[in-house]
Amino acid sequence: MACGNNCSCNNNNAGNQDNSRRDFLVKGLIGGIGAAFLSGCSTNDKTKPESGEKINVLTHDGKLVTVDKSQVANFKPHISEEDVRKGIPGKKFVMVIDLAKCDGCGKCTKACNKMHYLPKNKEWIEVIEMQDSPEVAPYYFPKPCYHCDNPPCTKVCPVDATFKREDGIVAIDTDRCIGCRFCMAACPYSVRLFNWTEPIKPNIIETTPAAENVFQSKKGCVEKCDFCPHMAREGKLPACVTGCPMNAIWFGDANEDAVTCYDGTTTKLSQLLEDGGAYRFMEELGTEPRVYYLPPTNRIYDAKEIKIEKEGSEN
């Protein structure tokens, strides 16, 4: 059992280290490479006695393993508060959602909830049914946070708890949020959720600053889709993209002009937007979303089956 299979430092030390005593690295540290990582390994205390207390940790490849508490090294996070507030250098994240392909299966939501330890009743990416007018066919409409370039939500935050990063992501620092919910009122897309009660905490330890945590729910604070920055730091796709078997969600970097979908196809963003006749949701509000939609033309599913809920009904 190794903490990471592409980690040179562990491989080098493997020979003179007892497997069961090997320190497991806490999720959040693993994304980093190079000096921080090596120095982290070299400070492992192999003589620490077992505490007998077991905890679950997440290895960087997403596996949950149970280890003794003493085996978890307490590294300093190598992603600093400033790094998180600045964002990933050189990136401009962008998402494209192909409405023609989305068949409303909701697997993106499931994958997202799994990734972020969200209960069923929370949906960071919500698939709603849309019908623009009575005569036109309805379609499914996945709605994540749009990570607006002119975000009304961050403008109103009194304590800079929700902020726009240079890589385009609108993040929330739950160590800062005072729970005034002004951002919820300000978001025209009803994207933000609030923790009205104490959320159920998963048994994981995270050492990144709060805004890049996988589990972001904190009582009395807001939360929303975060574009999975912890995945992006490792060069990986967000959970919803890898969860969508229809290849309906593309994610990538506008600076590279490339987006990738579930099956690994990478395509030119500008070409995709141009060919698909892309649009942004409620462009007229001036929020400048970073999420584009391709219109639901030539749908690959039967649109007639979609039932539109009456407004405001509950289930």
Partner 1 sequence: MEKLNPEIKNQIENELLGTVGRRYRQETFWVIFLGVICIGGTVAWIIQLRKGLGVTAMRDYVSWGLYISLLFFFVGVSLIGALVSCVLRMSGAKWRYPLIRIAEAVTLSAIFFAGFMPVLDMGRPERLYFLITHGRIQSPILWDVVAIATYFIGSVIYFYLPLIPDLAIMRDKLTDAPMWRKKLWRWLAMGWEDNLLQRRLLKKAMLILCIVILPVAISVHTISAWLIAFTLRPGWNSTIMGPYFVFGALMAGTAIMILIIAKLRHGYRLEHYLTPKHFNNLAKILLALTAFYLYLNINKYGVPAFKMAKEEKAVLEDLFYGKNAFLFWFTQIVGLIIPIIILSFKKIRQSIKWVVAASVMVLLGALINRYLIVVPNMLHPFVPIQHAQHGYATYNPTLIEWTITASSLAGFVLLIILLFKPFPVITMWEVIEEVEKRGEKEIGVENIVNFQNIPGHAS
Which positions touch ligand SF4 (CB under 6 A)?
145-148, 151-153, 156-157, 159, 161-162, 170, 172, 177-183, 187, 189, 191-192, 222, 224, 287
Task: Report the run of H or E that residue 93 belongs to, with start and end.
Answer: strand 93-98
259 phi and psi, to 5 degrees?
Answer: -130, 150
Judged by beta carbon, residue 22 or residue 165, the one nearer ligand SF4 is 165
Judged by beta carbon, residue 1 or residue 128, the one nearer partner 1 is 128
Q: State in angstroms the smallest separation of the CB of 223 from ligand SF4.
A: 9
Contact 25, 42 (CB under 8 A): no
Cα distance between residue 155 and residue 164, in whole Å? 9
The listed partner (ligand SF4, partner 1, none) that binds 282, CB under 5 to 8 Å by sort, is partner 1
The listed partner (partner 1, ligand SF4, none) that binds 145, CB under 5 to 8 Å by sort, is ligand SF4
Q: State in angstroms the smallest separation of the CB of 237 from ligand SF4.
A: 19
Q: State in angstroms the smallest separation of the CB of 279 from partner 1.
A: 15
Give residue 34's region: left, alpha or beta (phi > 0; psi -120 to 50): left
- 21: buried, middle or exposed (CB in 10 Å: 19+, 13-18, 0-12)? middle
Binding site for partner 1 (CB under 8 A): 121, 126, 128-129, 143, 152, 155-161, 176-182, 184-186, 188-190, 192-198, 219-221, 282, 285, 287, 309, 311-315
In sequence order, the β-bridge partners of residue 72 are 24
Contact 206, 130 (CB under 8 A): no
The listed partner (ligand SF4, partner 1, none) that binds 170, CB under 5 to 8 Å by sort, is ligand SF4
Q: State in angstroms the smallest separation of the CB of 294 from partner 1.
A: 19
Report CA dihedral (304, 301, 145, 241) to the nearest 10 degrees: 160
Judged by beta carbon, residue 179 or residue 202, the one nearer ligand SF4 is 179
273 phi and psi, to 5 degrees?
Answer: -65, -40
The listed partner (partner 1, ligand SF4, none) that binds 29, CB under 5 to 8 Å by sort, is none
Total residues belonging to the chain: 315
How many CB atoms are located within 10 Å of the residue 117 CB? Answer: 17
| Continuous H helices in 249-294 | 269-276
Q: State in angstroms the smallest separation of the CB of 95 from ligand SF4.
A: 12
Judged by beta carbon, residue 18 or residue 305, the one nearer partner 1 is 305
From residue 103, how far is each of 141, 299, 311 by CA, in Å? 9, 9, 21
Contact 69, 51 (CB under 8 A): yes
The listed partner (partner 1, ligand SF4, none) that binds 147, CB under 5 to 8 Å by sort, is ligand SF4
The listed partner (partner 1, ligand SF4, none) that binds 272, CB under 5 to 8 Å by sort, is none
Judged by beta carbon, residue 23 or residue 126, the one nearer partner 1 is 126
Q: State in angstroms the smallest separation of the CB of 36 from partner 1.
A: 28
